[in-house]
Copies of this chain bind each other. A is one copy, B any other.
Amino acid sequence: MNTAPLENVPLDLSIEIGSLHLKNPVLAASGTFGYGREFAKVMDLSRLGGIVTKAITLEPRLGNPTPRIVETASGMLNSIGLANVGVAAFARDKMPFLRSCGTAVIVNVAGRSMDEYVEVVRRLSDCPGIHALEINISCPNVQEGGLAFGADPKVAAAVIGAVRSVTRLPVIAKLTPNVTDIVRIAEAVQEAGADAVSLINTLVGMAIDVVRRRPELGGVTGGLSGPAIKPVALAMVWKAAQAVRIPVIGMGGIMNAGDALEFMLAGAVAVQVGTANFVDPTSTIRIVEGLEDTLRERGMGSVKEIIGALEV
């Protein structure tokens, strides 16, 4: 994946997720890319397929007690909580920059209650420059709501149905892996009107400081992300992609173009890159370039030829 582009043949990396057109299938994952600005110094954001923002709630939230992160084998746990500036400040202070980035803006939405989800979605729908909403029914780091919404197919469908009815923006349901059967949740949100599903959010995990005999995280448990979880994510994406008609956006431990290809072969139309941004802030761009190289090397005109091309 280190080879430079061989020649400048026209390559089609674009993909569609319902009415959402992306110039390429590589998105920065929620919570790992801030509101974009921090990364503008190290890369050209317009080369990204899109940016998914940190979760936005109705009111500002401070987030969880510290320490909030701990490294684990090939992964990390985070217990950030839903720390964010709230929907009003987001629309006022963060959207102007995001609108100017030249890439798709997908806003990740969270809430404590069904009403909160609906209200945040309503307000965001009035805000110009947003291309799609990702409904986070899967955050493991909040006491109320969060995980609970995404772990039960009926509740998941109810949230998605409710937000669906108040917005024209494409609705992406972000699913939790902490369930017995993710396919049932994916099917339920599809029926409720989701335009796409994205998976996986983090796995619930824990680490203990044996000297102090205390949890490493202020929030006790946290969400596991990074290469460690890639096999779990890939299995779920593969199962979900076979079961639903709507597009599947895959993520979990993607570090390089090879990893992204695995998810796309398994059926993901696009991928999100999370923890990798912390290891190498230009990961997303490297992955875009790596996908271009792969298409050239294999003489393929469009990235769509890869999607779901796994032979089982």
Cβ contacts under 8 Å, A226 to chain B: 73
Tell whether, in the assembled complex, residue A213 and residue B311 are in contact, meaning their CB atoms are under 8 Å apart.
yes
Tell whether, in the assembled complex, residue B213 and residue A77 are in contact, meaning their CB atoms are under 8 Å apart.
no
Task: Encode contact with B along A196-212: 1 for CB under 8 Å, 0 otherwise.
Answer: 00000001111110100
Tell whether, in the assembled complex, residue A214 and residue B74 are in contact, meaning their CB atoms are under 8 Å apart.
no
Cβ contacts under 8 Å, A261 to chain B: 208, 210
Question: Given the complex of chains A and B, what is the CA–CA distance between A179 and B253 in angstroms?
Answer: 21
Residue A262, interface by CB 8 Å: yes
Task: Encode contact with B along A100-111: 1 for CB under 8 Å, 0 otherwise.
Answer: 000000000000
Tell whether, in the assembled complex, residue B231 and residue A312 are in contact, meaning their CB atoms are under 8 Å apart.
no
Question: Given the complex of chains A and B, what is the CA–CA distance between A77 and B258 in angstroms?
Answer: 18
Tell whether, in the assembled complex, residue A73 and residue B180 are in contact, meaning their CB atoms are under 8 Å apart.
no
Question: Given the complex of chains A and B, what is the CA–CA distance between A83 and B42 in angstroms?
Answer: 52
CB distance from A71 to the nearest CB of B (A): 10
Interface segment, one of A17-25, A120-128, A232-240: A232-240
Tell whether, in the assembled complex, residue A266 and residue B231 are in contact, meaning their CB atoms are under 8 Å apart.
no
Cβ contacts under 8 Å, A77 to chain B: 231
Cβ contacts under 8 Å, A258 to chain B: 210
Tell whether, in the assembled complex, residue A232 and residue B204 are in contact, meaning their CB atoms are under 8 Å apart.
yes
Tell whether, in the assembled complex, residue A224 and residue B213 are in contact, meaning their CB atoms are under 8 Å apart.
no
Which residues of A in the span 34-57 have a Cβ within 8 Å of any Cβ on B? none
Cβ contacts under 8 Å, A221 to chain B: 235, 238
Cβ contacts under 8 Å, A230 to chain B: 72-73, 207
Tell whether, in the assembled complex, residue A74 and residue B227 are in contact, meaning their CB atoms are under 8 Å apart.
yes
Tell whether, in the assembled complex, residue A310 and residue B208 are in contact, meaning their CB atoms are under 8 Å apart.
yes
Chain A contacts to B: CB under 8 angstroms: 72-75, 77, 151, 178-181, 203-208, 210, 213-215, 220-222, 224, 226-232, 234-235, 238, 253, 258, 261-262, 265-266, 309-312
A-B residue pairs in contact (CB < 8 Å), sample of 19: A72-B231, A74-B228, A75-B228, A178-B180, A203-B232, A204-B235, A205-B235, A207-B234, A208-B234, A208-B261, A208-B265, A210-B261, A213-B309, A213-B311, A221-B235, A222-B231, A224-B231, A224-B232, A228-B229
Question: Given the complex of chains A and B, what is the CA–CA distance between A73 and B73 in angstroms?
Answer: 8
Tell whether, in the assembled complex, residue A213 and residue B310 are in contact, meaning their CB atoms are under 8 Å apart.
yes
Cβ contacts under 8 Å, A179 to chain B: 179-180
Given contacts A73-B228, A207-B262, A224-B231, list 10 more A-B pairs with CB under 8 A. Answer: A72-B230, A73-B74, A73-B253, A74-B227, A77-B231, A205-B234, A208-B261, A210-B265, A213-B311, A214-B310
Q: A74-B73, A75-B74, A180-B151 are in contact. Are A266 and B206 (CB under 8 A)?
A: yes
Question: Given the complex of chains A and B, what is the CA–CA distance between A220 and B262 in angstroms?
Answer: 13
Tell whether, in the assembled complex, residue A208 and residue B74 are in contact, meaning their CB atoms are under 8 Å apart.
no
Cβ contacts under 8 Å, A227 to chain B: 72-74, 228
